[in-house]
Amino acid sequence: MAKGLGKGISALFPTEPLKNDDSIEKISIQKLVANPYQPRKLFDDEAIEELAQSIKEHGIIQPIVVRKKGSKYEIVVGERRYRAAKLANLEEVPAIVKEMSDEQMMEVAILENLQREDLTPIEEAEAYQSLIEKLNFTQEDLAKRLGKSRPHITNHIRLLQLPEEVRKLVNDGSLSMGHGRTLLGLKNKRRIPELANKVIKHSLNVRQLENLIKEYNSEVSRETSKKVNKDIFVQAKETQLREYFGTNVQIRKSKNKGKIEIEFYSEEDLERILEILKVEEE
């Protein structure tokens, strides 16, 4: 993982031996509660069972990290170990108690999960969106901090524009991230769920879906305007701009002038595009 991410994690959880204030405590498992900022919604039951078996044989080798919250302890890092410990019927677990604000707890929980790189695309998108909304990060800040490319952040966040029922299909693996991104290119957004179900029913790959969407979009185009033939150069530039802005882009040329049309689907989407263009509000 890139060095930017390391700053957020290592600042709170250094890799050198524990310091004096990092003593390990035994905490009753009944007093532990899940992290309210946990970005992971899906846990692999089989993996948890395997970890529980390992814990029964060897115990918990790495302490979890918690913070005190009233009479309870909120888990900052180590929810998989906590779940496995419960499954293994442990009465208490080793933990390091840290003092941290809600903002710190959210950032560490999200960054720690992103560092593992096994979140679903939707979970990852929601994690990015949480950091942007609640910690006032820009997409540029986030890209630098995580060592990710700006398009990587943008393309994930765009998935949140999908209807909820389609986001669930991406989340459970019925649709890939590529399918999700491609579906956003459909001009008639109301037909996205219909097309998503068709992808699953007929096991369509992303390229097949792209071709199907071209057919759907051409129907819309015929209803609204005459079809304009574009040369290969213009088509290539449109593809390049679509990748850069993460949305549909049209280049229209006439004899003496041309124009570029960039589509957006919400106020937030417009703000995202303006941010890419580095247009600041006065």
Burial class of residue 247 (count of CB atoms within 10 Å of its CB; 0-12, 13-18, 19+): buried
Q: How many helices (H) and strands (E) does the chain have?
A: 13, 7
Cα-Cα end-to-end distance for the chain: 37
In single-letter form, the type of residue at position 275 comes to: E
Contact 77, 109 (CB under 8 A): yes
Q: Cα(66)–Cα(72) distance, rounded to whole angstroms?
A: 10
Contact 264, 273 (CB under 8 A): yes
Q: Cα(92)–Cα(26) distance, rounded to whole angstroms?
A: 6
* Kind and range of the H or E run holding 8: helix 3-10
DSSP state at residue 62: S
DSSP state at residue 211: H
- Residue 109's contacts (CB-CB under 8 Å, 6 or more residues apart) are 35, 37, 38, 39, 76, 77
DSSP state at residue 18: P
Please, which residues bridge with residue 259 across strands? Answer: 252
- Rounded to 5 degrees, φ, ψ at 157 are -60, -30
By annotation, the residues acting in catalysis are 79
